[in-house]
Amino acid sequence: MDEIATPHDAFFRESFGRREVAADFLRQQLPAQLLDDVDLGTLEISKDTYVSTDLRSAYSDLVYRVRYRDGTLTIYLLFEHKSSPEHWTLLQLLRYIAAEGDQYRKQHPDARQLPPIYPLVIYHGERHWRAPMSFHDLVAPLPAALLPFVPQFTYALHDIFARTDAQLKGDVLTRLVQLGMRWVFSKEPLERLRNLLTLIEEVQDRATALEILESLLRYYVQGTGRVEERDVRALLQQTTTGDPIMQTFIDRYIEQGRQLGVASRDDRWKSGDIIGGRCIRSSCRRPPRRIGACSSPFKVLPTYCNIGDI
């Protein structure tokens, strides 16, 4: 798979690539008559992407497979992560259906039928979903004489923004992930992040809680454009938790930020890149918002401690 394109893609894959999140999410989203015939205990997750490189600013995807009756049901989970609906979502679904069918044919040369596919679209944009729900709606003119010759299918839609917080069902981890996606476009992302940190306290498995905390911090720094590293450190300094493992993570994150901040500033003073307290490199005009790799060698950022080191 090619390099991840966006913070939304990263958070989606990290979250819905978790088996416990995927199974619980499907339990809430699949129609009852379909849910009765699938065995979520057999869930397999493929993280290969069927989204072409030029479309990854709009889409991310995951493929789930579960035992269904006497065969397999493939669930294609397509995350549309723009702030407004993408009109051509059905084309991406059609691309996947064709690619999946071709792959199955090659893997099962004696087969004469294809296993069913359930297309499920997740959307978290602030604007109402108005994209076509039927493939026939993309084709015009489409007189009755042509109807039998044009593909016809629809998809299930999970519009996170259109639902209230209470309508986002599931276990605490599943709700936490969806709220994180719902609130990333908020005008008060730091306050929303504070709410999410409180919800993380309810996650029973502490290793999972730490992983989600790391993922959320990265997502809100990179994905909102309005949360700075210093904001995150200040928020964590205000966070008190009775969990010693979680508190250790928070303390180390804050301390690493301090140490790297001092080291970075000293290096830039020595190299003459800072005059009068301001960075004179054009690439460093604004404080960095990214956690991880960056284009400028002078944008040194806090790194998360490894969970195994705590």
Q: What is the DSSP letter of 288?
A: -
What are the boundaries of each domain within the chain?
7-185, 235-309
Mean pLDDT for the chain overall: 83
Tell me how far apart the alpha carbons of residues 119 and 97 are, in angstroms, rounded to a whole number: 9
Name the residue among 192, 153, 198, 146 with its Cα closest to residue 172: 198
Say yes or no to pLDDT of 18 above 60. Answer: yes
pLDDT classification of 308: cutoffs 50, 70, 90: very low
Say yes or no to pLDDT of 279 above 50. Answer: no
Q: pLDDT by residue (tens digit) across 149-164? A: 999 999 999 999 999 8
Tell me how far apart the alpha carbons of residues 10 and 150 are, in angstroms, rounded to a whole number: 35
Q: What is the pTM of this model?
A: 0.80
Q: Are strands 274-275 and 156-159 parallel, antiparallel or unpaired?
A: unpaired
pLDDT classification of 269: cutoffs 50, 70, 90: very low
Tell me how far apart the alpha carbons of residues 114 and 132 are, in angstroms, rounded to a whole number: 26
Pair of tokens at residue 263: 């080291």
| Helices 244-271 and 229-238, packing angle to 10 deg | 150
The pLDDT, as a whole number, for residue 283 is 38
Q: pLDDT by residue (tens digit) across 110-138? A: 999 999 999 999 999 989 999 999 999 99
Query: Considering the chain, what percentage of its residues have pLDDT values greater than 90?
Result: 58
Neighbours of 24 (CB within 10 A): 20
pLDDT classification of 241: cutoffs 50, 70, 90: low
Q: pLDDT by residue (tens digit) across 198-217? A: 899 899 898 898 899 999 99
Tell me how far apart the alpha carbons of residues 79 and 237 are, in angstroms, rounded to a whole number: 33
Residue 229: Cβ-neighbour burial (10 angstroms; 0-12, 13-18, 19+)? buried
